[in-house]
Amino acid sequence: MAEPRSENNQPDPINGILLIDKPEGPSSMHACARVRAALRRGGAPKRVKVGHGGTLDPLATGLLVILCGKATPLCNTIMAGEKRYLARVDLSAFTTTDDREGERSEVEVRQPPAEERIREALNGHVGEVMQRPPAFSAMKVGGRRAYALARQGKVVELEPRPVTIHSIDLVSYEWPFVELDIRSGKGVYIRSLARDLGSALGTGGSLAALRRMAVGRFDIEHATPLDGLPELLTQRDLIPTAGLDEKAD
């Protein structure tokens, strides 16, 4: 399908959003590269800009909001929207990365906490809370990314910062795994929440799985699986951005 063209026969600027259901494994930037290549095959300029409205770690799956062309300046607007996650927390161990990709430190728990105790601990993490980002994160320490220092074996101590968690619902609990439904604001690390939950309970705490279900007004139900992305993408395949600069959600 030929791309839309203006009166001077030049490709019209790309401007829109694509919702991707990212599988476990690829990085968020890999997903952006896939979209960029498909847009180019559809006739977009070689230097078409493609970004995303909030990173998903390779371990995580779910909704990735891809911003194409003139929509890329909306990154901060999209990231400011409320996020919804389904998370699986392993209470049997801490890890160096606060998720299952890191080196495990098993915690001996003589008596697994009761469900009511877990609910009480979760309530303490709702609202505006101080949260310490993971050592393996993109936060900067002295001008360098924290994960780069951590990979070199250096001790990384990031300062806690205020974040907002709107709600945490306990979906299920079967030791050592807790399934959570989380609604949060910008900048929340679910890995940190898993770690801090374990600390509050006197158990381990690391993220075993994570799926993002919604970002602002966008929902996973309307996303295209990354592996099902068409070979060619044009302006007609993108969601218009009208009204998105008015508010985040």
Residue 9 lies in a domain: no
Q: End-to-end alpha-carbon separation of the chain, Å?
A: 33
Phi–psi pair at 201, nearest 5 degrees: -90, -15
Residues 169 and 146 in one domain: yes
Average pLDDT over residues 190-199: 97
Q: Note the pLDDT of residue 150.
A: 54
Q: Same domain, yes or no, for 207 and 94?
A: yes
Q: Are residues 103 and 197 in the same domain?
A: yes
The domain containing residue 60 runs over which residues? 15-80+216-237
17: β partners: 67, 239
Residue 223: which CATH number? 3.30.2350.10
Residue 247 has pLDDT above 90, yes or no: no
Mean pLDDT over 174-188 rounds to: 96
Q: Which residues does the annotation mark as catalytic?
A: 57
Domain count, the chain: 2
Backbone dihedral region of 118: left (phi > 0), alpha (psi from -120 to 50 degrees) or beta? Answer: alpha
Among 131, 194, 137, residue whose Cα is nearest residue 161: 131
Is the pTM higher than 0.95? The answer reads no
The pLDDT tens digits for 195-218 are: 999 999 999 999 999 999 999 999
Rg (CA), the chain: 20
- The span from the CA of 238 to the CA of 38, in Å, is 12
